[in-house]
Amino acid sequence: MANRDALRAFQSRLASRLQAARTTGVAATWLAVEAGEGKYLFPLGHAGEIFPWTPPQPVPYTEPWFLGVANLRGGLYGVVQLSGFATGGSGALAATEAARIQSRLVAFNELLEVNCALLVDRLAGLRGAEAFTASEPPGAEAPAWHGHLYTDAAGERWQEVNLQALSQQPQFLSIGA
């Protein structure tokens, strides 16, 4: 009988905490990452699993930003260096062990039906709209996969990346050099 009462009390406390989190909590909207010189925001609905750096198997005759393929939790994923793709070149891979330890592979959400992971230099956490003081819509010359450009309180600029739009871009899908 005492165990049943303790379980009910625990369930009651848990339910009240969940309700309080729903009403007072701040909802995260983006996964913030850094790649090369850029700071990017991935919508949480588009981002999938995050993996530690796994060296991919190189694929010959591909674009410099396409690093190869990697086995991530039993699935074969193409690995794209975000900084290289975004700048149109090939970014340098992390040279030091400490930098490699911070690198992550962010897979696309499986609902996007693209077995691809983006190499980022560092995860910067989750962000919600309240973390930013200003936003600008993408310019006319911006790639189709760019969303709004946000500015945080420290003056740092963060580019929103529409991973769904990115996964449908011919340039992104054409990895052959």
Asked whether residue 88 is domain-assigned, the answer is yes
Q: Whose CA is closest to 121, among 143, 145, 104? A: 104
Count of domains observed in the chain: 1
Burial of residue 39, with CB atoms counted within 10 A of its CB: 0-12 exposed, 13-18 middle, 19 or more buried: middle
Asked whether residue 89 is domain-assigned, the answer is yes
| pLDDT of the residue at 1 | 55
Q: Do residues 77 and 116 touch, judged by C-beta distance below 8 A?
A: yes
For 109, the token pair is 């959400």
Asked whether residue 107 is domain-assigned, the answer is yes
| pLDDT of the residue at 9 | 60
User: Residue 123 and residue 130: Cα distance in Å, rounded?
Assistant: 19
Asked whether residue 53 is domain-assigned, the answer is yes
Predicted TM-score of the model (pTM):
0.80
Asked whether residue 7 is domain-assigned, the answer is no
Asked whether residue 110 is domain-assigned, the answer is yes
Tens digit of each residue's pLDDT, the chain (177 residues): 565 665 456 555 545 554 554 455 557 899 999 999 999 999 999 999 999 998 999 999 999 999 999 999 999 999 999 999 998 766 566 555 666 788 999 999 999 999 999 999 999 999 999 999 999 999 999 999 999 999 999 999 999 999 999 999 999 998 887
| pLDDT of the residue at 33 | 97
List the domain range (segments joined by +) for residue 129: 26-173
Asked whether residue 134 is domain-assigned, the answer is yes
| pLDDT of the residue at 160 | 97
What residue ranges in 93-165 does DSSP mark as E strands?
104-108, 116-120, 122-127, 132-136, 146-152, 157-161
Asked whether residue 120 is domain-assigned, the answer is yes
Q: Do residues 147 and 160 touch, judged by C-beta distance below 8 A?
A: yes
Burial of residue 116, with CB atoms counted within 10 A of its CB: 0-12 exposed, 13-18 middle, 19 or more buried: buried
CATH number at residue 55: 2.40.50.180
